[in-house]
């Protein structure tokens, strides 16, 4: 018998341009349970570095593995291999002064487009609910 097929994920990045001067509000929205519950999940609980995200009452836990206050936060889904993570990074455009939210995530090549669409949908919710 052959080895089981192991799908590998590839890293991808997406940038979203948001309103000028929104970096401090954006930081609260990507780093706190209440902020994340505004747009990313139905509800979010935090115990130390473990965030539990709920979608339709189904929990999924991620550990906050890195953060730089006001700049970026990186999570690792507990049911994924250690090499995969998702990160939300806040940057300022030198050219326009706009706030940029850069997402880094991982997806299998066959799921890349649907993963990007999911992020697009979530960021659209974030923009509509917060005016960013």
**Is the residue at 1 inside a domain?**
no
Structure-model confidence comparison of residues 88 and 98, the more confident one:
88
Rounded (10°) CA dihedral 32, 113, 108, 34: 10
Residue pLDDT, tens place only, 53-91: 999 999 999 999 999 999 999 999 999 988 999 999 999
- Whether 114 maps to a domain, the answer reads yes
Report the domain count for the chain: 1
Provide the residue range defining the domain that includes 121. 14-130
Q: What is the CATH number of the domain that holds 70?
A: 3.30.530.20
Residue 55 lies in a domain: yes
Contact between residue 103 and residue 88 where contact means Cβ atoms under 8 Å apart: yes
Does the model's pTM come out above 0.75?
yes
Are 115 and 122 in contact by the 8 Å Cβ rule? The answer is no
């Amino acid at each position: 018998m052959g080895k089981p097929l192991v799908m590998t994920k590839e890293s991808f990045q997406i940038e979203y341009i948001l309103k000028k001067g929104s970096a401090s509000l954006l930081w609260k929205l990507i780093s706190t349970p209440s902020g994340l519950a505004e747009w990313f999940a139905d509800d979010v609980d935090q115990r130390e570095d473990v965030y539990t995200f709920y979608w339709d009452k189904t929990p999924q836990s991620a550990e906050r593995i890195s953060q730089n206050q006001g700049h970026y936060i990186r999570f690792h889904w507990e049911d994924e291999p250690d090499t995969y993570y998702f990160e939300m990074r806040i940057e300022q455009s030198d050219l326009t002064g706009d706030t940029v939210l850069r997402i880094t995530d991982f997806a299998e090549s066959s799921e890349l487009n649907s993963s990007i669409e999911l992020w697009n949908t979530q960021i659209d919710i974030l923009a509509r609910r917060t005016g960013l």
